[in-house]
Amino acid sequence: MRNRLGKLELQVMKLIWDKGQATVKEVWEELYPEKRLAYTTVATVMKQLEGKKFLNHSEKERTYIYHPSIDQKSVSQGLLKELIDGLFDGSAAKLITTLVQGDQITKKDLEEIQQIILNYRKSEVDKNG
């Protein structure tokens, strides 16, 4: 991963990924009820994200409109790889074991994971003949 994202930076990115684009005001309005952040704090975070190359902007009527310059999947895969490498010795199985043993996974989650694995195996068999 190019740069780490702090908790607030990640919240801002999630909002912009969901919207596709956003102004500082739009992000601030979403975050303010919960976080009570100053407008300038949000503006600073978004400028930092642009500096880290997570966002870029266009300008319309003297207002910056921020757009993600990296997709959510790339960021989540990078963060997950760092987590697995750092805490679980590179083993996804150890991550899943920890989640299951810590009651972090619901029965529904397990069923979804099993279906994803079955679909993956089927696609691999279909690809390889």
* CA pseudo-torsion sign 100, 103, 104, 107: positive
Q: What is the pLDDT of residue 1?
A: 46
**Token output for 16:** 């912009």
As a whole-number percent, the residues of the chain with pLDDT over 70 amount to: 97
For residue 63, list its beta bridge partners: 60
Q: What percent of the chain has pLDDT over 90?
A: 77
Please state the rounded mean pLDDT for residues 60-82.
94
- The structure tokens listed for 84 are 């697995």
Q: What share of the chain is helix, strand, coil (3-state, %, to 5)?
A: 65, 10, 25
Task: Tell me the HSE value of 106 on the side-chain side, using a 13 A CA sphere.
Answer: 3
Question: Over the chain, what is the mean pLDDT?
Answer: 92
The residue among 39 and 104 whose pLDDT is bigger is: 39
Asked if pLDDT for residue 123 goes beyond 50, the answer is yes
**What integer pLDDT is reported at residue 126 of this predicted model?**
81
Provide the terminal-to-terminal Cα distance of the chain, rounded to the nearest Å.
35
What confidence tier does 129 reach under pLDDT thresholds 50, 70, 90? low
pTM over 0.85: no
Say yes or no to pLDDT of 62 above 50: yes
Give 32-71 as a 3 state SS string: HHHHCCCHHHHHHHHHHHHHCCCEEEEEECCEEEEEECCC
